[in-house]
């Protein structure tokens, strides 16, 4: 078997793309989208019919572009759920990242849209940035039966808070952590187990398994296949089509790196809001990358709305 096939035997593989053709080719269990991926999809002619369908549904009014953008994301999600057996992750507008109640309201709207298209909520994960406000929104949504994917996760504190909130799934970003460290130490060896993003996800995985948390750990944002290989055995990994192709072309043996039996050295800790904010303040990498990620997703959301306005 090639490495992609081997990986699927120990880890649930998720497609990190809005490209329906790529999802059909690599046959992942789940798929994730975000504003950047939707912006890319919206610029491709094969999705023109979905844009027009979203425009017709959105109607008129001051919130037309926002409604059209939400609808386009849901329609892409609808198409993807017809291919995959599992769940589609659809992201809440990043501009709501610091507003708990607005995030909850938007999540409910997205779920209602999916259900109106005969896609049950257990096929959908609502993606929310891992701010304190986003985690608290996720806590309430989970209690309502709306499962969440907390994204833009860079720190151990974010992971702890998500687990204690009962979040269904988290997406710690491996590659963006590596980017930050490489920028500051360009000559350092960050290969395989030396990769700080790999180390972060491994620590979170061990902590969750040791302390009995049910929250799913899904490594995300990979820069190379080495990062994926170093996390083989993680609950889930969301992988771009290019890296899935690279794994599919590699016939060498893939070793399982993470198992639930590996114990954590971190004692269980339930963070208050002030403790969470202090830990984020002390973690310069996580503080900077979370803020940067929210800004970039918000910028792509604006670009998507501008593109939709021209339809």
From 8, 40, 55, 127, the catalytic residue? 127
The span from the CA of 31 to the CA of 15, in Å, is 4
DSSP bridge pairs for 16? 32
Find the angle CA(58)-CA(124)-CA(19) to the nearest 5 degrees.
Answer: 70
To the query of whether residue 127 is one of the catalytic residues in this protein, the response is: yes
The span from the CA of 149 to the CA of 268, in Å, is 22
Inter-residue contact 307 to 50 (CB < 8 Å): no
Token digits of residue 23: 């999802």
Token digits of residue 300: 């792509």
Q: In sequence order, which residues have a C-beta less than 8 Å from that of residue 22 and are 6 or more positions away? A: 15, 241, 244
How many Cβ atoms sit within 10 Å of the Cβ of residue 245? 16
DSSP bridge pairs for 216? 169
Distance of CA 134 to the CA centre of its chain: 13
**Which helix (H) or strand (E) is 68 found in, with range?**
helix 64-81
E-strand ranges in 86-129 read 88-91, 124-129
The span from the CA of 92 to the CA of 110, in Å, is 8
Sign of CA pseudo-dihedral 155, 158, 164, 165: negative
The span from the CA of 88 to the CA of 15, in Å, is 9
Between β-strands 88-91 and 12-16, what pairing exists: parallel, antiparallel or unpaired?
A: unpaired
Annotated catalytic sites, by residue?
127
């Amino acid at each position: 078997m090639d490495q992609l096939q081997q990986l699927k035997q120990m880890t649930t593989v998720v497609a990190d793309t809005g490209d329906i053709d790529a999802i059909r080719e690599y046959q992942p269990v789940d798929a994730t989208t975000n504003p950047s991926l939707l912006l890319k999809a919206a610029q491709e002619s094969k999705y023109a019919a979905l844009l027009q369908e979203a425009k017709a549904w959105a109607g008129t009014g001051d919130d037309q572009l926002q409604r059209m953008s939400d609808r386009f994301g849901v329609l892409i999600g609808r198409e993807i759920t017809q291919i995959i057996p599992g769940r589609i992750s659809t992201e809440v507008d990043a501009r709501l990242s610091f507003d708990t109640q607005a995030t909850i309201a938007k999540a409910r709207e997205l779920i209602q849209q999916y259900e109106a298209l005969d896609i049950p909520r257990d096929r959908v994960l609502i993606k929310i940035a891992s701010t304190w406000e986003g985690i608290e929104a996720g806590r309430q949504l989970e209690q309502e039966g709306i499962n969440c994917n907390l994204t833009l996760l860079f720190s151990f504190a974010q992971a702890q808070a998500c687990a204690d909130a009962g979040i269904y799934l988290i997406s710690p970003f491996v590659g963006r952590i590596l980017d930050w460290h490489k920028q500051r130490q360009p000559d350092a060896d960050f290969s395989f187990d030396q990769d700080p993003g790999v180390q972060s996800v491994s620590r979170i995985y061990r902590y969750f398994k040791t302390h009995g948390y049910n929250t799913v750990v899904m490594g995300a944002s990979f820069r190379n296949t080495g990062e994926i290989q170093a996390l083989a055995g993680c609950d889930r990994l969301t992988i771009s089509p290019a890296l899935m192709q690279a794994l599919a072309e590699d016939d060498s043996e893939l070793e399982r790196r993470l198992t639930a039996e590996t114990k954590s050295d971190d004692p269980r800790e339930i963070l208050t809001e002030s403790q969470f904010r202090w830990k984020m303040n002390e973690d310069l990498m996580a503080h900077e990358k979370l803020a940067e990620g929210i800004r970039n997703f918000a910028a792509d959301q604006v670009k998507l709305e501008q593109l939709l306005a021209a339809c």
